[in-house]
């Protein structure tokens, strides 16, 4: 799956099309250089799309939950998500109606030390909980943020049954307003 020059090891997850990227830092006694993104190395994940936006977030308080966010077509997006300071439990939820893993979620710890990036395809919701204070996240998006195409799920929805490891310290007012999944929810068509 990787060429000898590829700086990413692609790891499968239990969810259809969701992959984890193990970045391959190159270093010596001075430190290291780590490629965070490369269009040619990640062509299989990116397809014919390009990175349209890069976001950097800081979350100060441990236990904070952000998400679960997604965008609907035509602004559905691929996200490459990395934690560059601290530790988070990163979660992706499959919302694609024809997927064999529809409404399943995957959670993985991302940290400044484990060199992992979660590659989240279009049609997934995304969120995380900070496991330490002062967490910084770096996101590469294949579509720009568009408020009129933004949607979200309630991170505490019992139907999703996400096991957040810490008591929830904070959630934004916006995230608290995201609905639980309705019984007749048919997913996000791409």
Say if 122 falls within a structural domain: yes
User: 177: helix, coil or strand?
Assistant: helix
Provide the domain limits for residue 98: 8-23+37-172
- Annotated catalytic sites, by residue? 69, 139
Question: Tens-of-pLDDT digits for all 190 residues of the chain?
Answer: 444 467 899 999 999 999 999 999 899 999 998 888 888 889 889 888 999 999 999 999 999 999 999 999 999 999 999 999 999 999 999 999 999 999 999 999 999 999 999 999 999 999 999 999 999 999 999 999 999 999 999 999 999 999 999 999 999 999 999 999 999 999 998 8
pTM equals 0.93
- Look up the CATH number of the domain holding residue 122: 2.60.120.10
For the chain, what is the domain count? 1
CB 129 within 8 A of CB 59: no
Measure the CA–CA gap between 36 and 181, rounded to whole angstroms. Answer: 34
Torsion of CA 95, 97, 98, 99, to 10 degrees: 30
Residue 190 lies in a domain: no
- Per the rule left: phi > 0, alpha: psi between -120 and 50, beta: everything else, 123 is left
- At 141 the three-state DSSP class reads strand
């Amino acid at each position: 799956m990787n060429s000898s020059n590829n700086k990413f090891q692609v790891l499968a997850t239990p969810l259809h099309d969701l992959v984890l990227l193990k970045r391959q830092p190159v270093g010596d006694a001075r430190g290291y250089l780590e490629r965070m993104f490369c269009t040619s190395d990640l062509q299989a994940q990116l397809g014919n799309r390009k990175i349209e936006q890069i976001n950097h977030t800081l979350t100060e308080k441990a236990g904070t939950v952000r998400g679960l966010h997604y965008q609907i077509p035509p602004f559905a997006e691929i996200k490459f998500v990395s934690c560059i300071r601290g530790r988070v439990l990163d979660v992706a939820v499959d919302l694609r109606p024809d997927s064999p893993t529809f409404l399943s979620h995957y959670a993985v710890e991302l940290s400044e030390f484990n060199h992992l990036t979660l590659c989240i395809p279009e049609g997934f919701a995304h969120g995380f909980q900070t496991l330490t204070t002062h967490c910084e996240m770096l996101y590469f998006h294949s579509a720009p943020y568009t408020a009129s195409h933004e949607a979200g799920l309630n991170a505490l929805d019992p139907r999703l049954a996400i096991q957040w490891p810490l008591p929830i310290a904070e959630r934004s007012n916006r995230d608290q307003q995201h609905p639980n999944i309705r019984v007749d929810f048919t997913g996000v068509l791409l």
